[in-house]
Structure 1
Amino acid sequence: MEKFLVLQAARFGDLVQSKRLVLTLQTQGQVHLAVDESLETLARLLYPDAVIHPLFLHGHDEARAMAANRPAFAALRALRPDAVYNCNFSGLTGAICRLFAPERVIGYRPAPASEGGLLRSPWARLAFQLSRGRRPSPLNLVDFWAWFAPSPLAPERVNPVARPGGQGLGVALAGREARRSLPSPVLASVIQTLSGLLGGPRIVLLGSAAERPAAHRLLRLLPPRMTRQVEDLSGKTDWRGLADAVTGLDVLVTPDTGVMHLAAHLGVPTLAFFLSSAWCHETGPYGLGHSVWQACPACAPCLESAPCPRNVACLDAFRDEHFPRLLARAWAAPDAGAAPALPAGLQCWQSGLDALGATLRLSAGEDADGRLRRSARALLAEWLGLPPGAVADAAPDTPETAGELRRLRELLLPDSEWMLPQGRYA
């Protein structure tokens, strides 16, 4: 039996978004998954058939972390894996990859010692180039990692179709990046609207201990009749408790968070709000049955690390007094053409799937980048060798589209790389 090592050194959401890659490799052999030790329990919950290798990767002094990791590194080297999938463009995971023969490393591998740095595989290089223009980005992160492996698992086999489970309304209070999250007054308005649409359900507040103040602010903004329905679990759950709390919810209201990806993993419908640096075509909920509201002013998506010169203007559409009515109408009529007209700078999307992976269908609003995104998606499908028609939302086959694809090809990759299959070749 073949053995595969997956290195996923990033955070909560990234670990969940590795699912298509991990499940693909499990159909071919035994998967070993190396993660930060803080995520060990979560990794075991998500991937019970994988062998988990906890490492000290975050929040540790480098010298002490290296010393603590020596036994784990020796165990990884002793595995002698047939292939190592490095999911992170990171010097840390690059150093771990030096434990193995370079030709066994897929995704990101160390350059020769004389050069330093990391090398991207052709697939990673292509996806990186496309992502530099983020607005027409056509590729979900789940699928980016999945296509490191040849013939990844069909996308419909990754997550269950999301359906209401009768356990009420969940609320992910905030994400790790504050600017991506709805402020308490806006979130309170959204919750009141949805509570009315759902007939006054149980409401579960979810978050870490850092979100407790946000929970308290939110409770002060909700009417007393609703607060009696609220169960505040912020800071009160471990990984298993969080999964139990999310399981069976009717819907999860969330920014771009790890809890959103956990809900999709469990088949719970998500109603996601993306703004600031969060872009739904890159990290939206994976699978069928999810909705995303995307703020899309001309400056979006931005860099979270850079100060906003417009006082987070992407929040304006959600702060508008008419937004609760728009939300209610879109909830009642999610199909394109039936949903309400939206103000400029706001879109509503419904999740979908095709042979490439996750895609989004615009149900309300305008998408000025749609044509280029469809062309880029067709380019990815061609490069991966997918059959004609496999990508549902590819741009129509016209001379204009053919010329656009030709220009994208010439810009992004030299001719020689179009002769190589998929991203297995580094």
Structure 2
Amino acid sequence: MFRQLVIQSARLGDLVQTRRLLLSLAGRGETHLAVDAGLAPLARVLYPFAHVHALPFYTADAARAAQEVSKVLHLWHELDFSAVYNGNYSSAGTSLCRLFPPERVHGYRPGPGGPERSPWARRAFRLTAHRACGSLNLVDYWGYFVPDPLPPEAVNPPARGGGEGLGVVLAGRESRRSLPVPLLARIVRTVHDLMGGPRVRLLGSAREQAAARRLLRELPGRMHDHVEDLSGKTDLPALVEAVRGLDRLLTPDTGIMHLAAALGVPVLAFFLSSAFAHETGPYGLGHTIIQADGLSCLPCLESAPCAFGVRCLRPFEEEGLLGALSALIEGRASARLPRGLQGWASDLDALGGVLRLVAGQDRQGGLRRAIRRELASQTNVAAAFAAADAQAASPLEAEAEESARRWLRADSDWMLPPRRYC
């Protein structure tokens, strides 16, 4: 029997963003998925076709972890996987791959000097040196670990309201990427009124319960009876039910945002600091993103402290934001965001998820398109992408094409036939 294993050792959002890869594998043989034990219940809900293996990726109990890993490795040895897809550049996930012949491992492999990237992972990873020009969604990065993944339109359903009201994600794990509570309250009030006063669900972990109480104090009294605070009150399967059927979700770049997109819930997302929508924006049709732009420090490194007082937050606090949001939600062409912000609508092309500018300016647009064409040229959708990309190449576009080729074709891997790049 042809058996395949996906190792996803990261957090909730990454588990959801592995969706294109997992759905692509589902029809090709028996599919197994290894995740942190805390995410195993959610993995079974999202991917009922997969055999889920719970591993202690984030436990502090080393002795217990070693015992559990030993049991799983013994089982894997008996299963004899034909292909293994390791999704993260981490010592934990890559160490597990030492059980398998190197030629069966795609993504991140054990090497003599530590984890090594396979050819596709190496090429795509080069884009991190030019993040402001990035144009590859993480869903598609993992999706192309196989040479002919599922079409992008088959990954997430088009976003449509389900009648269950407005969801509000209070914050993400990284505070710099989240909006302050007073600002969030103004946005919630505006969107709530535009939607005709629906029910509101506050979503988050137990860490966000204090933020939920502050948000309620900031909201007008007329809204209080409409608000249900679910922060810290749902396990992961219950979170799926809390998100499913919402008419809209307000959120920073979070795992709940990706869950909403996978469930077909329309997302209104706010990206700043290290969050960059071209990399980790909501996947599929029908989502709106407000992205901070115009500063040389954007997007920044999450692990590095901000030396500028999170100045990318300031445009979100300007008066014109709420009016622009109203225009975007109502589909009016008059949306004028404050300077330093861009409005994007999620879309799909032959390669995968892509964003279309609907407000503001994109200084990197030409280079972004050139990178996308270069990426597509080495995939199974090269012809379809080229046929759909009818934009005339100006001298600046031609220069951008050369830059894209130089950045992405830095080694002899490009000499391999396209179907072998995974």
For normalisation by structure 2, the TM-score amounts to 0.96
Aligned 8 A contact 1:123 1:423 in 2: no
| Aligned equivalent of 2:329, options 322, 331, 334 | 331
- 8 Å CA contact 2:271–2:291 kept in 1: the answer is yes
Equivalent-residue separation in structure 2 for 1:176 and 1:424 (angstroms) = 37
Partner Cα distance (1:373, 1:182) in 2: 27
How many residues are treated as equivalent by the alignment? 420
1:363 corresponds to: 358
Residue from 192, 195, 202 that aligns with 1:205: 202
Residue in structure 2 matching 1:406, options 386, 402, 407:
402
Q: Secondary structure at the match of 2:67?
A: helix
Structure 1 residues 411 and 246 mapped into 2: Cα distance closer, same or farther (>3 Å)?
closer
Deviation at 1:324, TM superposition (A): 1.0
Give the letter aligned to residue 416 of structure 1. Answer: S
Moved more, 20-29 or 304-313: 304-313
* 2:273–2:312 contact (8 Å) kept in structure 1: yes
- 1:296/1:70 Cα in 2 relative to 1: closer, same or farther (>3 Å)? same
Gaps of 5+ in 2: none
Q: What is the Cα deviation at residue 277 of structure 1?
A: 0.4
1:89 and 2:84 are equivalent in the alignment: no
C-alpha separation between the residues in 1 aligned to 2:407 and 2:200? 50
Corresponding residue number in structure 1 for 2:269: 272
- Report the AA paired with residue 7 of structure 1: I
Picking from 298, 301, 304, the partner of 1:300 is 298
**Aligned sequence identity (%):** 55
> C-alpha displacement at 1:418, in angstroms?
1.9
Higher helix share: 2
**Cα offset, 1:406, TM superposition:** 3.4
The alpha-carbon deviation at position 296 of structure 1 amounts to 1.2
AA matched with 2:378: W
Give the partner amino acid of 1:367: D
Amino acid at match of 2:339: A
Seen in structure 2, the aligned counterparts of structure 1 residues 394 and 69 have a Cα distance that, compared at 3 Å, is: farther
Once residues 268 and 92 of structure 2 are traced to their aligned partners in structure 1, the CA distance between those partners, rounded to angstroms, is 35
1:107 aligned partner: 107
Amino acid at match of 1:309: A
Q: How far apart in 1 are the matches of 2:329 and 2:133? A: 26
1:1-400 equivalences under 5 Å are 1-111=1-111, 115-298=112-295, 299-333=297-331, 338-390=333-385, 396-397=392-393
Q: Distance in 2 between matches of 1:55 and 1:399?
A: 52
SS at match of 2:31: strand
Q: Alpha carbons of 1:226 and 1:64: their partners in 2 closer, same or farther (altered >3 Å)?
A: same
Range with greater deviation from structure 2 (320-329 or 178-187): 320-329
1:260-285 alpha-carbon deviations (Å, 9 max, x no partner): 01101111000001111000000000
Output the amino acid matched with 2:371.
A
CA offset at residue 398 of structure 1? Answer: 5.1
CA 1:4–1:320: 2 relative to 1, 3 Å: same
> CA offset at residue 342 of structure 1?
2.5
Deviations 1:171-228 (A, max 9, x none): 0111111111111011000011001101111000011111100000000000010011
Residues 311-332 of structure 1: CA deviation (Å, up to 9, x unaligned): 1111111111221111112212
Q: 1:92 to 1:423 in 2, by over 3 A?
A: farther
- Specify the SS of the correspondent of 1:98: helix
Cα offsets for 1:128-170 (capped at 9, x unmatched)? 1012211110100000000000200000001111101111000
Partner AA of 1:324 in structure 2:
L
Paired letter, 2:121 = A
The AA in structure 2 aligned to 1:190 is I
Comparing 408-417 and 85-94, the one that deviates more: 408-417
* Structure 1 unmatched ranges of 5 or more: none
Deviations 1:23-69 (A, max 9, x none): 00012111100000000100000000100000111132445422331
Secondary structure, aligned partner of 1:134: helix
Q: Counterpart of 1:306 in structure 2: which amino acid?
A: A
Moved more, 151-160 or 115-124: 115-124
